[in-house]
Structure 1
């Protein structure tokens, strides 16, 4: 056996993503580079680690066992590195976060100065939809998650960061004169939805159902950015978190349409499993959040109160 730590990292990422393409994206490598590393790693075993059926990649039972061993080896290597830094008086380790997609407009502002002060910390942040965020939290795969809606079926603790405000928006060409005219508007203009599993979609569906609004046409899109660009292009209107619309609202290319019982107000919260034994890095980050969150809110997000 003559495998390298790099090969272990690549193989483990492939088993986690079940995709050469996704693994290459997350590792910031080219697809050919990932494929070569997988081949070189496979050549050291007589038993197949993966197999491709149709166009889908599967991990064999033997491959799953090797993936577990690879993860254990890599964790031990990380532990050695962290202990070395600890003896040098530096805070080090991995901070693992899972963030709902719209949270990408929030979380970086709570990480920037913390990581500058602690450059030895390795950050892993997965940006995805609410369903996957809750799954990673439930499986204890992350230290913290950022959500706007608290999962009901998990015992969690939380720290409120800032307000989350959902508003009805359209582009500058949308004609809308009355806050009671929502039904007329969507009778002629498509409603743009996020994908199933998105917290924004759940909030939007709940509001539409409560108000008994019937849209002639609906369009489903898989990211908040895609919805925003579609609103800008005039494809329809949507209920969206205001957090990702600052530039467009300031320029007037997107406008808020006043509607009865909107905006919907929730909170962006950092959450973690109740009773979880937090690492020194996670504890330091949580303490930093509690100490600095009001300052970050006032310096980075005060603009929200203008809308």
Structure 2
């Protein structure tokens, strides 16, 4: 019978996790400042200890076996817990040191990095890492303890997590500046029945909001076109290929350049909320707790100020602005 506690070392777990992440012994060796033979030897010893193959070779690359994928899942959690312990010890005296990792859905990239920069100016010893991924990936990373916090629009009701409202997230209908309804004061969504609606992929939050709008208005577009990113959607809108329901916070540069206009459709802007999420079981380090508090207290007011002069819809007071 296997006895991992007796046979497995923390160094082997670190080496295995790096090899699993990069799917390359050479890359793992480079990141860990080891030689490739040293990495190969440690992986071989680990496989001998557990009596299972962890990697298989496919051409010139390696891939995880089923056993490797299972161990990788647990390794992420173990190393994440060790990182938590290290951060807690390092930051016992103050919240001005340590590391924070935060994951963002793609639309949050338009404002959260600026908040990270603002915080870093005040707390230069806090090391904040951020990554961008799909919502489902962020939820898995939270569960695996691979990230401390996540910013997203739709928190999961199934996840045992704490979700705090962060900022007002209005969705508006964007069109090219040559659209015939640009100067219309107010009109019904059905007036756009002949337009092509440019959509994000079905799994995205933005597509979910658009489909909910269609259902509420008993509306069916003449044509929809799914695109792979907000940047692609915006360029298609600028080119006059169609209209799109988009988060207002993704449009600042295009509004400043007067490349995109907001159509005043009845029922818009559609009110949604940004959330900052962490697992209930997660013991936030002092640095992480302080950064989370900064996001909650400062983001709403900052976003409102960024859009106050660009569109009348953004002048509505956010319920999350701290006074």
| Class of the TM-score when normalised by the shorter of the 2 chains | 0.7 to 0.9
SS of the equivalent of 1:265 reads coil
After TM superposition, give the deviation of residue 78 of structure 1 in Å.
8.9
Query: Cα distance 1:13–1:301, how it changes in 2: closer, same or farther (>3 A)?
Result: farther
Instruction: Give the 5 Å matches for 1:79-228.
Output: 83=89, 86=91, 91-176=96-181, 179-180=186-187, 182-187=189-194, 189-228=195-234
Unaligned runs of 5+ in 1: none
Alignment partners' CA distance in 2, 1:86 and 1:273: 20
Give deviations 1:169-221, integer Å, cap 9, x for gaps.
1112222276546445342x321111122111100011112222222322111
Cα RMSD (Å) of the superposition?
Answer: 4.1
After TM superposition, give the deviation of residue 107 of structure 1 in Å.
1.0
Alignment partners' CA distance in 2, 1:151 and 1:71: 20
Unaligned runs of 5+ in 2: 1-10, 48-52, 314-323
After TM superposition, give the deviation of residue 146 of structure 1 in Å.
1.0
Alignment partners' CA distance in 2, 1:38 and 1:171: 55
Give deviations 1:27-55, integer Å, cap 9, x for gaps.
xx8x9x78xx8965336554664335589
Alignment of 1:12 with 2:17, yes or no, is yes
Per mean C-alpha deviation after superposition, the further-off stretch among 38-47 and 149-158 is: 38-47
Alignment partners' CA distance in 2, 1:285 and 1:239: 31
Alignment of 1:262 with 2:229, yes or no, is no
Alignment partners' CA distance in 2, 1:190 and 1:57: 44
Instruction: Give the 5 Å matches for 1:225-240.
Output: 225-240=231-246
Alignment partners' CA distance in 1, 2:226 and 2:180: 23
Alignment partners' CA distance in 2, 1:195 and 1:284: 35
Alignment partners' CA distance in 2, 1:152 and 1:284: 25
Residues matched between the structures, number: 293
Query: Cα distance 1:265–1:282, how it changes in 2: closer, same or farther (>3 A)?
Result: same
After TM superposition, give the deviation of residue 239 of structure 1 in Å.
0.3
After TM superposition, give the deviation of residue 282 of structure 1 in Å.
1.4
SS of the equivalent of 1:268 reads strand
Query: Cα distance 1:88–1:132, how it changes in 2: closer, same or farther (>3 A)?
Result: closer
SS of the equivalent of 2:261 reads strand
Query: Cα distance 1:300–1:112, how it changes in 2: closer, same or farther (>3 A)?
Result: farther
Tell me the TM-score normalized by structure 1.
Answer: 0.75
Query: Cα distance 1:217–1:114, how it changes in 2: closer, same or farther (>3 A)?
Result: same
After TM superposition, give the deviation of residue 264 of structure 1 in Å.
0.4
Alignment partners' CA distance in 2, 1:180 and 1:54: 59
Give deviations 1:212-233, integer Å, cap 9, x for gaps.
2222322111221121112112
Query: Cα distance 1:43–1:272, how it changes in 2: closer, same or farther (>3 A)?
Result: closer
Query: Cα distance 1:165–1:185, how it changes in 2: closer, same or farther (>3 A)?
Result: same
Alignment partners' CA distance in 2, 1:223 and 1:274: 31
SS of the equivalent of 1:94 reads strand
Query: Cα distance 1:243–1:95, how it changes in 2: closer, same or farther (>3 A)?
Result: same
Query: Cα distance 1:14–1:221, how it changes in 2: closer, same or farther (>3 A)?
Result: farther
Give deviations 1:58-81, integer Å, cap 9, x for gaps.
313564587566985797689668
SS of the equivalent of 1:229 reads helix
Tell me the TM-score normalized by structure 2.
Answer: 0.72
After TM superposition, give the deviation of residue 260 of structure 1 in Å.
1.9
